[in-house]
Amino acid sequence: MYHASKINWQPSATLENIKLRAAFYKKIRAFFSVRDVLEVETPLLCQHTVTEPNIESFQVKNTPTYFLQTSPEYAMKRLLAAGSGPIFQICKAFRQEESGSQHNPEFTMLEWYRPGFNHHDLMNEIDLFFQHVLATNPADKISYQDLFLTHLSVDPLNSDLNSLHAIIKQHAISVDLTDIDYDTSLQILLTHLIEPKLGVEKPLFIYDFPSSQAALAKINGKVGERFEAYINGKEVANGFHELCDAKEQEMRFFENQKQRLANNQFVPAIDTHLIHALLHGLPDCAGVAIGLDRLLMQLSHANHIHSVISFNWERA
């Protein structure tokens, strides 16, 4: 016999927030409907997964091994290469990371792609999207370089590792700097010293990240045409002016594999389906991934992601 008092079978979200999610999805679909953006569905269980060192997938043992997708990106790009035109998808995504106030290993993602758009065009559309679904004020934009110059008086594109480490020490950020490289140092400074101040009165887009932080974006000089959106100090969107060159993409995947090997991480095979789709021809486009659970947290004023998920990781 089970003792009911020892089993928490109840939803982690309130019924009010469960209803809020349903209404939220209606608003999202209405936004895309008037713009003739096609809703699509792609597999969550695939033969390939991402090679990016900072993202770990769940493996499903089979013959061959399959992976729960960390994002529908690769499959959606195959649809774009096949001539789908503008598309969006609301789906589950899965990443092996610790559950916390902003993270659940299973989460809901909105991803969309706009052929003929660059990253600035897409930021403008996302701004309208935020106004439509969250009733936000019109957003601001700032380049990654200007952001660091404004907040920390350091140029992230033309500095050196010692200077970044000095700022980390100056602000007494508790981290062992022994093996912390340049990009990781920038990320530490961003998350600890800058992020909490971003997007408080209106959403804020940060664009043109260092090229080393833009694995799936077109490169323009020292920067990759990538952006992130922040609302109330939280990152809610990550987008790119998408890389269309198959050879360049394959080379970047090879570099990822080398990094993972050096880090003693599992090394996934390169997604040859995606590479062949790029060889066939991906239209010039921009794409974005938005965490819907985080947007629902903003909408419901929740402090924890569990409050907007029917059954969080521990109760699933």
Nearest to 271, CA basis, from 296, 288, 252, 299? 252
For the chain, report the end-to-end CA distance as a whole number of angstroms.
21
- 230 SS3 class: strand
As a whole number of Å, the CA-based R_g of the chain is 20
pLDDT bracket for residue 7 (50, 70, 90): confident
pLDDT of 202 strictly over 90 = yes
pLDDT bracket for residue 33 (50, 70, 90): very high
pLDDT mean over 202-231: 95
Per-residue tokens: 42: 């792609």
pLDDT mean over 1-9: 72
In the chain, alpha helices (H): 15-33, 73-81, 119-134, 144-152, 161-170, 182-189, 246-262, 272-281, 292-300
pLDDT mean over 55-75: 92
pLDDT bracket for residue 99 (50, 70, 90): confident
4-139+202-308 under CATH 3.30.930.10, yes or no: yes
pLDDT of 5 strictly over 80 = no
pLDDT digit string, tens, across residues 141-195: 999 999 999 999 999 999 999 999 999 999 999 989 888 999 999 999 999 999 9
- The ranges assigned to domains in the chain are 4-139+202-308
Whole-number pLDDT of residue 100: 87
Per-residue tokens: 208: 């043109």
pLDDT of 6 strictly over 90 = no
Percentage with pLDDT > 70 across the chain: 98
Whole-number pLDDT of residue 98: 79
pLDDT of 240 strictly over 90 = yes
Which residues, other chains included, contact 77 with Cβ-Cβ below 8 Å and sequence gap of 6+? 113, 242, 274, 277, 278, 282, 287
pLDDT of 4 strictly over 70 = no
Q: What is the pTM of this model?
A: 0.94
Phi first, then psi, for residue 125 (nearest 5°) are -70, -40
Whole-number pLDDT of residue 179: 86
Whole-number pLDDT of residue 2: 62
Whole-number pLDDT of residue 159: 94
Whole-number pLDDT of residue 106: 96
Nearest to 131, CA basis, from 297, 19, 295, 309? 295
Tell me which of 13-17, 45-49, 99-103 is least confident: 99-103
Which residues, other chains included, contact 95 with Cβ-Cβ below 8 Å and sequence gap of 6+? 55, 56, 57, 58, 70, 105, 107
DSSP strand pairing (87-94 vs 38-39): parallel
Question: CA–CA separation, 37 vs 40, rounded Å?
Answer: 9
Whole-number pLDDT of residue 8: 87
pLDDT bracket for residue 3 (50, 70, 90): low
